[in-house]
Amino acid sequence: MSDKKTLFIDGIEVEIEGERNLLELCRKIGVDIPTFCYHPELSIFGACRLCLVEIEGRGIQSSCSVPPEAGLKIHTNTDQIRKLRRNTMELLLASHPQDCLKCPQSTKCKLQEIARKVGVTDIRYKLLTKKAEKDTSSYSIVRDPAKCILCGDCVRVCSEIQGVGALNFAKRGSNSTVITAFNIDMNKSECVNCGQCAAHCPTGALTIHSEVDETVKDINNPEKVTVVQMAPAVRVAIAEEFGMPAGVDSTKKIVTALKKLGVDYVYDTNFTADMTIVEESTEFVDRLTNGGVMPMFTSCCPAWIKYAETFHPQVLKNISSCRSPQGMFGAIVRKAMPEICGKDNKDIVSISIMPCTAKKFEARRDQFLKDGKYEIDHVLTTQELAQMLKSSGINLAELPDTELDAPLGAYTGAGVIFGVTGGVMEAVLRYAAEKVGGIKDAIEFKQVRGFEGIREAEVELNGKKLKLAIVHGLANAGKICEQVEAGTCKYDFIEVMACPGGCIGGAGQPISEGFCKKQQRAEGLYKADEKCALRKSQENKAVYDIYNKYLDGGPATHAAHENLHTSYEKRAKISADLDINKV
């Protein structure tokens, strides 16, 4: 009892339990201190000056940057603090465009939300609008620097969590701005399109590149047959946009909604997730037994792929050559749909709904061009799907259930868990345990689950011990890449997902702070997996039907290689003519 350290917040005694600052302590007792620049997973920055508290004897300080000390007496809601916070908000708003009504971030904007919370009703300062051009060059992200409040969240998530550093502060004083190196277009920078900058941006300065209008146009066109694939993580997050809790499995409601909208076929990316497992496990076993390049990395995450191509080209040969489930689906649609719907490929519109902004970039890779046309026409994120439904007057929460279409809507539990960190690894183990180890009843591999940034596991297959690693956050992936490059990597198989938590934490998902909602979404996926009658990819009969019909009868065949595999290319960090010999 005596070694308990406590301090006082608004007269309430609070125990210090390893919190790194006063702000976390305040939140622990339910006092919501406003802030733009503080995120528990990022370094402390202290830039926005909103989280002010009064410490007796020390005056006003920003609570995010003061470590807790026993005995401190803190006040969070004095007249002076209220006045200061409101003033800070007024100053921020004075140099922010006043165009909320047409801003894509409106109603999700933290600037708006906190302005309301601290009670701004008037801006006493002269309005200054920054002049800055929008950067719409990226398939994934739209950058509107005029709306930037310089909180630095994007800069820190890009370098600290993703190890990329595409966005940085430049210039100074009133000219300060967050830009790419040399102010180059986003699509020419080292940006990997993960979108975590947009997911962390409190304003409309970084938003998702929307493809809603083009998609609706195609759905409304009677000449076109529209085919949708939906990724696993979408179903456990979209409900949040319609006032339902995170983690609710809305698969069947999404089918109803899309059909109502006029989509002709609603399928599931889980189908090709199962296919990926069959193909990728075959590749892994082949590498392992025939002296192929080891260790092997997974290849489902397009942000990870671009990261490796840009920052660690030496490990490209270690990455499975399998396309991502989205990529495989793109190919299967072009193979199977003409027969299913009786239309020509030119009249078939392939739409994917993803939790991910990088999938938009993936769909435009040269490798996915077939006969001069991209296999996938539109990629929408979960957020865009919600917006598309809302703009069409559809309330997901009120819809009845509809089953997915056959045959590309069939899936097993192994496909479902693809959406969460550790899921691909677990799905592979379910396959390998049976196919290689001969163990029929191995389904759940809980040792690969969790949210640690780098997790290790070991399994034994046929008397051989396999060392596995599961990483999320590209900075963590970078560490493993360095080990591979140095020849010190002790793992055999490594799963990489760029976004914290895996696809459930993708930047295309409804915006969520911290890990709480991500945890619920993960639980939602594991529950959906448990509910599946079939839980191993090799039990998905429809996958083998497609193999038999279009892909020479099985994995690793010539046709499978042609349609389900891809190639990677070394990329320059900055794609511009920067030849040092010319200066």
Q: Which residues lie near another protein (CB under 8 A)? A: 159, 164-172, 179-183, 189-190, 573-574, 576, 578-583
Four-point Cα dihedral 93, 97, 101, 106, nearest 10: -60
Q: Can you tell me the distance from the alpha carbon of 267 to that of 231, in angstroms, rounded to the nearest whole number?
A: 9
- Cα separations in angstroms, 307 against 157, 185, 364, 477, 496: 15, 17, 16, 9, 11
As measured in angstroms, the least distance from the Cβ of 364 to another protein is 24
DSSP annotation of 505: G
Joined together, the tokens standing for residue 484 give: 């591979």
- Per-residue b or e along 483-503, where b marks 16 or more CB atoms closer than 10 Å to that residue's CB: bbeeeebebbbbbbbbbbbbb
Residue among 310 and 476 whose Cβ is closer to another protein: 310
As measured in angstroms, the least distance from the Cβ of 572 to another protein is 9
Which H helix or E strand runs over 278? helix 269-289
As measured in angstroms, the least distance from the Cβ of 40 to another protein is 24
Residue among 125 and 169 whose Cβ is closer to another protein: 169
As measured in angstroms, the least distance from the Cβ of 178 to another protein is 9
As measured in angstroms, the least distance from the Cβ of 164 to another protein is 7
Residue among 1 and 583 whose Cβ is closer to another protein: 583
Q: For the chain, give me the number of helices (H) and strands (E)?
A: 19, 19
Residue among 406 and 578 whose Cβ is closer to another protein: 578
As measured in angstroms, the least distance from the Cβ of 36 to another protein is 20
Gap between the terminal Cα atoms of the chain: 69
Residue among 397 and 578 whose Cβ is closer to another protein: 578
Q: Can you tell me the distance from the alpha carbon of 179 to that of 183, in angstroms, rounded to the nearest whole number?
A: 6
As measured in angstroms, the least distance from the Cβ of 447 to another protein is 34
As measured in angstroms, the least distance from the Cβ of 442 to another protein is 42
Q: Could you count the other beta carbons within 10 Å of the beta carbon of residue 289?
A: 11
Residue among 195 and 409 whose Cβ is closer to another protein: 195
Q: Can you tell me the distance from the alpha carbon of 312 to that of 125, in angstroms, rounded to the nearest whole number?
A: 49
Q: Could you count the other beta carbons within 10 Å of the beta carbon of residue 431?
A: 23
Residue among 60 and 170 whose Cβ is closer to another protein: 170
Residue among 14 and 498 whose Cβ is closer to another protein: 498
Q: Can you tell me the distance from the alpha carbon of 441 to that of 421, in angstroms, rounded to the nearest whole number?
A: 23
SS3 352: strand
Q: Can you tell me the distance from the alpha carbon of 150 to that of 154, in angstroms, rounded to the nearest whole number?
A: 9
DSSP annotation of 38: -
Residue among 189 and 320 whose Cβ is closer to another protein: 189
Q: Can you tell me the distance from the alpha carbon of 360 to that of 507, in angstroms, rounded to the nearest whole number?
A: 12
Residue among 121 and 581 whose Cβ is closer to another protein: 581
- Per-residue b or e along 535-558, where b marks 16 or more CB atoms closer than 10 Å to that residue's CB: bbbbbbebbbebbeebbeeebbee
As measured in angstroms, the least distance from the Cβ of 182 to another protein is 5
As measured in angstroms, the least distance from the Cβ of 108 to another protein is 27
Q: Which residues contact 318 (CB under 8 A, 6 or more apart)?
A: 293, 294, 295, 296, 297, 484
Determine contact, residues 433/284, Cβ cutoff 8 Å: no
Determine contact, residues 428/280, Cβ cutoff 8 Å: yes
Residue among 140 and 226 whose Cβ is closer to another protein: 140
As measured in angstroms, the least distance from the Cβ of 154 to another protein is 12
Residue among 154 and 331 whose Cβ is closer to another protein: 154
The string of DSSP codes covering 425-489 is HHHHHHHHHHHTT--SS----GGG-S--SEEEEEEEETTEEEEEEEEESHHHHHHHHHHHHHT--
As measured in angstroms, the least distance from the Cβ of 303 to another protein is 16
